[in-house]
Structure 1
Amino acid sequence: MTGNRTSVDPVLTLPVEITSEFFYQCLPTSCSDREWNTPDPREAPMLLLHVCKAWREIAISTSVLWSKMEFSMHNNHGADLWRTWLTRAEGRVLFIKLHRWIPEEDEDEDSESEQEMTGTPLSTFLMLVHCAERIQSLELSTITINTLEKLAQASRGTCNFLSLEKLTVGLSPEDPSYDQWPMPGESTTDPVIALTNSPLLHEVSLVKTPPSVLSLPWHQITTFTGTRLLCGDCLEVLQLSSNLTECAVATGRIRADDVVKLTHSHLTSLTLFTEDGYGSADLLESLTLPALQTLHILDADDFDENELNIFLSRSSPPLRKFVLRENTLTSLASETFQLMPSLTELEVWNPQYSVIPEFFRNLGGDPKFLPRLQHLAFVNSVYFSGILGDTQRGLKSRWDMRHDPMPVAQLQSFRLTWKKVVVLEADALLPFRALIAEGLDISIESTNGD
């Protein structure tokens, strides 16, 4: 066909609002490999700038595309890009993640003009302070204490982070000043106070960062995550955060001078996990948590069942969910479960040979044993002759107790997985199928899904 008419891509005939929504749906989410927008030209939003002129104009004018940003600050190029994104985000609420900072020795202390300072931590923080009231989430990672102190210099004291709800600060593993920082309870240098005026802040994460580095409104924090912290640092956070309800920490072993015995009346969820060699359950020795409802102990090499029992006896918490995952075989006696009368959900990893038979004898024979249990899982169990019989008899007896004059809670789900592939007789699972037919959700499999 010939003629003077110019073909127009049908996409370009759409209203700008619809095209902008399409662009927004191209952004990464928490379900994708990464959650933050980066300046990678192969991914949205930067990719949208290189399709055609029309798309570029729409993308630049769609402020929501530029409001959630992750930048490396190790050179001037990253700082320049960040400045551009802030301009494009206009009046949007901001989600900012900045990492890999320029080493202090690369800064020119005599530089005074804004152009000369571009890319330095001070110039970056000056931009941060300028948009502080719009920041809802802020992450400063792989940063040194000296660099972080530039924030105080940029803000000239406190600053109004009126929209800030979530804060993450992670010191660089190479920062030598961390090891020189005063231990918990000792006198310290002045903390960075720039973030003190954050009336909506309720979630804080610290990575290898003592809480004394920052002056925060700790009394309003409800969720805390601490990674690679000293045990004393975690205790300090719990002391400062009287309204904390959720806490997840990877800490070192307790030290002789961590003598604090702390009762926290509001904490309902505690997770002890492991990362980079930090992963101790010693924190339980110092705590009394009368409101605790959820407890996860994950891969703690020093887990001690006796210390757990002492903690449970001391706290008498209304514990509803307990997850225990050890790298080695897990041994739990019935005495431990007797201290959890309110438990509704139990998950035990790598149980020792003796754990399952004893557990199901108690479950099926004693209505006072975990009377509210509804969800039960044994993960990575060792297969042994008789395990299915012990399990089925215990489940069946507990299942039938729901009709007793003083009924226990009705089981809703049961999961059992083995470490290795197990070949079963054709009729080995028939008794479980009968329970499934009556309404119990049962999953029995090897760890490879067979």
Structure 2
Amino acid sequence: MSAANADLRARLAAVDVSISEQWLGLKQLQDTREAIQRQLDHIVYPVLTLPNEITSEIFLQCLPPTPVFSEEEKDGPSSSDAPLLLLEICRTWRSIAISTPTLWVHLHLNLLEVYGDVEEIIAQWFRRAGSCPLSFSVRGYLGLDPLESDAIIATLVHHAHRLQSVALQLEQQQFKKFMGIGPFPLLDEIAIALPFMDDEDEPGGLWNLEIFSDAPRLGHLHFGQNAILSMFPLPCWELSKATCESLPIDDFLNLLEFAPTLLDFTCSVEPDPAIFNTELITHDTLQTLRLADNSSTHFLPLLRLPALQNLHLHIKDDMDDDAFQVFLTHSAASLGTFSASVPIRTIALGWFSIMSKLTDIQLVVSDETLLSGFLSSLASTNDSTFLPRLQSLTVVKRDFEFCALVNVFTARCTARDGVAQLQSFWGIYPGGVRMSMAASTRATLQGFINGGMQIHIGTEESNLI
């Protein structure tokens, strides 16, 4: 009996040895297969042979643009966009993507489209960003879940020292929960919007909330959808760019007064007849002013903007010619670009005599008399003082007098006596307008194009030339 046991044990040991040998052989075959597959992948997918640094740079170029405030806000984060998409391609790309911190520095959350533990999603995302500065944007919804609200608060608390950009589209009451968070030593850009308001809400429900007041490097500001400056006192002494959808006149003037380094300002200013009791405001650095969305202009005579280079108007038709000329007298010394994106019936040729350094003009014209006088002045060879530096002219109009245009191009196509050469003309027909051009006119204009001038006449999409 013991002999039989010994024999069985010997046979079992032999089988175990054979199994080990087979496993070892299988492992070696598996390793060989993977090596061959890698070689094959490099042949079939040569992109995998690129150095990781180059692949990382390519990945960075795949990132979607940073979302902006709109009702059609994109989803996020989305597995159909980089960087999450890159994790699904292959193991090599997944490894490179996870080890590229700059792919993960910006997180946009559309909370209506996010499923799972929001706080864990944020933590994992920013963990991959390593020690890089962060950008965080959130679009909430009416009646935000308390857990999601807590996750946003936790993110602002834990990463305040690393946040470089913050964009928040939330209910009014959510902002009250952010009081006391900070400081934000790296914060350069803030965007705030209040799109989620029911009929009982009023913007005045938020005033003087000290949320981002400790952000000494704040340089860019965007307020939209019911958010106004009075709600959030912010440090403005380093501000260089501000965009505000709608501003009371007091906020507009206060920002100019307390943002001494402001270079670029876009806003729509609400009308206030009492403004003429306000003192004059001088701003020595502002270079670009855009009055958008049918802004009022009654306050312009109060402004002194000696560094102004670009002026863009989308305003109500309440422009006072004398008042605007007062503004230009103090603010047009360096003005190079002037555009009006809605017809302004009170526009006057005298404006352009004051704006003598303009190089770029864009006009929407409804007054045929104005355009005729304007083109005649440009075509005059006896007046070298009317817009002597003009290089680019855009006119939006339902039809054009081509003979007048030819006279302008003839007078301005060659530099002479200190008058700059007109380099481009865009004549834009509004959408839906039928266009036609005689062959002789087209040939004449083509001659100017052959001489080096850029001419576009037609809709924005199609050129008749």
* TM-score with structure 2 setting the length: 0.78
CA separation of 1:103 and 1:411: change in aligned 2, threshold 3 A: same
Q: Is the 8 A contact 1:293 1:321 kept in 2?
A: yes
Q: Deviations for 1:140-177, whole angstroms, at most 9, x for unmatched residues?
A: 12x23432122224x2xxx2322221111112351756
Structure 1 position 83 matched with structure 2 position 110? no
Pairs within 5 Å for 1:198-217: 198-207=215-224, 208-217=226-235
2:153 is aligned with 1:134: no
Q: Which residue of 59, 63, 66 maps to 1:27?
A: 63
Conservation of the 8 A alpha-carbon contact between 1:421 and 1:446: no
Deviations 1:83-108 (A, max 9, x none): 2212222212211111215737x54x
Change (3 A) 1:289 1:20: closer
State the alpha-carbon separation in 2 of the partners of residues 85 and 353 from structure 1. 58
Matched residue, 2:204: 180
Give the counterpart letter for 1:163 in structure 2: L
Match of 1:168 among 179, 191, 203: 191
C-alpha offsets along residues 234-265 of structure 1, whole Å, 9 cap, x if unaligned?
Answer: 22222221221210002322353684342222
Asked if 1:343 is matched to 2:358, the reply is yes
For the 8 Å contact 1:168–1:206, the answer to whether it is kept is yes
What is the aligned counterpart of 1:252 among 260, 264, 270?
270
Matched, 1:46 2:84: yes
The CA distance in 2 between the partners of 1:430 and 1:52, in whole Å, is 57
Conservation of the 8 A alpha-carbon contact between 2:264 and 2:289: yes
Report the structure, 1 or 2, having the larger helix content: 2
Q: CA deviation at 1:317?
A: 3.5
* Mapping for residues 18-417 of structure 1, pairs under 5 Å: 18-29=54-65, 38-52=76-90, 55-73=93-111, 77-100=117-140, 103=143, 107=146, 118-120=147-149, 122-141=150-169, 143-153=170-180, 155=181, 159-174=182-197, 178-181=202-205, 190-192=208-210, 194-207=211-224, 208-256=226-274, 259-261=277-279, 262-274=281-293, 279-298=295-314, 300-326=316-342, 328=343, 332-365=347-380, 366-379=383-396, 381-383=397-399, 387-399=401-413, 402-404=415-417, 407-417=418-428
1:441 to 437, 440, 454: 454
Aligned residues of 2:310 and 2:336 also touching (Cα < 8 A): yes
Query: Does the 8 Å CA contact 1:357/1:391 hold for their aligned counterparts?
Result: no
Contact 2:106 2:135 in 1 (8 A): yes
TM-score, reference length from structure 1: 0.80
Q: Which amino acid aligns with 1:234?
A: F
Q: How many residues align?
A: 414
1:279, 1:301 within 8 Å by CA — same for their partners in 2? no
C-alpha contact 1:96 1:139 (8 A) present in aligned 2 = yes
Give the residue type in structure 2 aligned to 1:264. Answer: H
DSSP 3-state at the match of 2:351: helix
- Do the aligned residues in 1 keep the contact of 2:284 with 2:305 (CA within 8 Å)? yes
Q: Which amino acid aligns with 1:59?
A: A
The alignment-based identity, stated in percent, is 28
Q: 1:243 to 1:447 in 2, by over 3 A?
A: closer
Partner of 2:25: none
Cα distance in structure 1, aligned partners of 2:58 and 2:386: 55
1:320 is displaced (CA, Å) by 1.0
Q: How far has the Cα of 1:424 moved from its partner? A: 2.0
Q: Measure, in 1, the Cα distance between the counterparts of 2:434 and 2:243.
A: 37
